[in-house]
Amino acid sequence: MFRNQASISDYYRALLKQVQDQILKEKDETILHSNTDELVDYYFSHNSFETIEFDSGQPPTFEHKKEVRNVPANRREEFYRNEGDLSFEYESIVITMPIIPNENIKTILELQSSTYSLSGEPQVTIGHSALYFNIDIKGYGFKWDDDKVASEVNGNIESVKTWIGRKNNDITRENAQLKPGIKTFIEQRKSKLNEDGQRINSLIQKINIPLKQKENDAITRIKLDPKPLVQKVKPNPKLPEEYVLDHSKVLDVVSVIDNQGRQFEKTPKTYKTFEEEGLRDVILVSLNSLFEGKATGETFSNKGKTDIYLNIDKGNVLICECKIWGGQALYGKTIDQLLGYLTWRQNFGIMITFVKQKNFSKILNEVQGIVTQHASYKSGFQQISTTHFLSHHALSQDESKSVEIHHLFYNLFCE
């Protein structure tokens, strides 16, 4: 029955190889200069399963349902078959077993545990925060009494709990083996990269030409591009002057912020005690180290506790807002706050959100609804990547003024 069904152990064997491939593709400097334990935690948390947990605050519930079903003629008693199919009322009990949301639950339940019942697995429907199963208690040719119904319901609940418990036992065992496996591979990779570095240093001594240094694409583009970050638009006669920000530079800014955000994710324990202002300051340093500022001040400055704005003399054309996730209502207010700072006809905003709680995937699934239902939303919602979204808005004080907002999310949850 289960001969061709992949097991949780099979999955984890393939998973270790997958994680090793991820580590091999990681930048050398990230492996060499990051804390080993924090790297292990990062790769482990992004790849391993969490056990399936029932919600202890919500006990199982049941719902009584009735529906009319078709009974085919060939299932009826022989002396009724000539009368054809029959419509018959069935009664059933639907049991709801609340669980803590788990983004991998479908995959987990499809995998075979190391121990299992030869009678098969419970037939359940998977919801976002619950498991459901159905028991017919009355139908064509049968009607259960209350004792029989109670016995079947309780028996099925225990069967589901046992089934989930077997899965969890395997996950716990495999996680205990996966983490040391990741650590061993990272340590081996660090050792090799250190040896590579020593060899390059030796070659530099023997080859009397300078070594070409690699740079991040966005950084190279910023340094070599002679165009100023903000370009002044040639004004028409008797019209007030306006400023526009080169769109490619906006994408460069997003790239730099995203690179820093991913560094946060790789070592979340380092930033566990950082509030919005501290995280904002790290990003601010990164931006000012890459974009050339004016002689009289920095290109990017802080405004308030959580904002970063592009520093030009005559208005705000780009605002970055840093927030720790606090729910849908706060996110909507943050959009209002960002829009309130912008003044020019074409504006850009970057919402940088740090999530320090569980269920990161659930929060990402809420983003489109929050953004598109905001009063300022005009059009063009896009998902650029798993954690990068784009939308277009109008300023409430002047709907002819448009705002392109980039929404960036980073997972900083740690135990």
pLDDT tens figures, 1-20: 445 679 999 999 999 999 99
Q: In which element (H, E) is residue 125 found?
A: strand 125-126
Average pLDDT for residues 378-393, to the nearest whole number? 91
- DSSP letters, 176-216, are HHHHHHHHHHHHHHHHHHHHHHHHHHHHHHHS-SPPPPP--
Is pLDDT of 251 > 80? yes
Q: Are 378 and 392 in contact (CB under 8 A)?
A: yes
Average pLDDT for residues 337-357, to the nearest whole number? 81
The pLDDT assigned to 211 comes to: 45
- SS3 label, residue 250: helix
The pLDDT assigned to 218 comes to: 46
**Which tokens belong to 379?**
């059009």
The pLDDT assigned to 305 comes to: 55
Averaged pLDDT score across all residues of the chain: 82
The pLDDT assigned to 347 comes to: 74
**Which tokens belong to 156?**
């099925």
The pLDDT assigned to 213 comes to: 47
- DSSP letters, 61-111, are EEEEEEEEEEE-GGGS-GGGGGG--EEEEEEEEEEEEEB---TTHHHHHHS
Percent of the chain, pLDDT > 90?
A: 41
> What Å distances lie between residue 75 and 72, 79, 82, CA to CA?
6, 11, 12
Q: Give tens-digit pLDDT for 193-202.
A: 888 877 766 6
**Which tokens belong to 127?**
């919801």
The pLDDT assigned to 116 comes to: 82
Is pLDDT of 297 > 80? no
How many Cα atoms sit within 13 Å of 279 on the Cβ side? 32
The pLDDT assigned to 195 comes to: 86
| Claim: this prediction has a pTM higher than 0.75 | no
**CB atoms near residue 406 (< 10 Å):** 21
Higher pLDDT, 405 or 5: 405
Is pLDDT of 247 > 50? yes
The pLDDT assigned to 80 comes to: 84
The pLDDT assigned to 92 comes to: 92
Q: Give tens-digit pLDDT for 15-26.
A: 999 999 999 998
Average pLDDT for residues 99-113, to the nearest whole number? 92
Is pLDDT of 203 > 80? no
Q: Give tens-digit pLDDT for 42-90.
A: 899 889 999 999 998 888 998 999 999 998 988 888 888 888 888 999 9
Name, in order, each residue with C-beta under 8 angstroms of 282's C-beta and a sequence gap of 6 or more.
Answer: 260, 264, 271, 274
Q: Give tens-digit pLDDT for 207-236.
A: 554 445 454 544 444 343 444 555 544 344
Q: Give tens-digit pLDDT for 300-321.
A: 544 555 578 765 544 456 788 8
Q: Give tens-digit pLDDT for 327-336.
A: 999 999 999 8
**Which tokens belong to 160?**
């589901």
Q: Give tens-digit pLDDT for 142-165.
A: 999 999 999 999 999 999 999 999
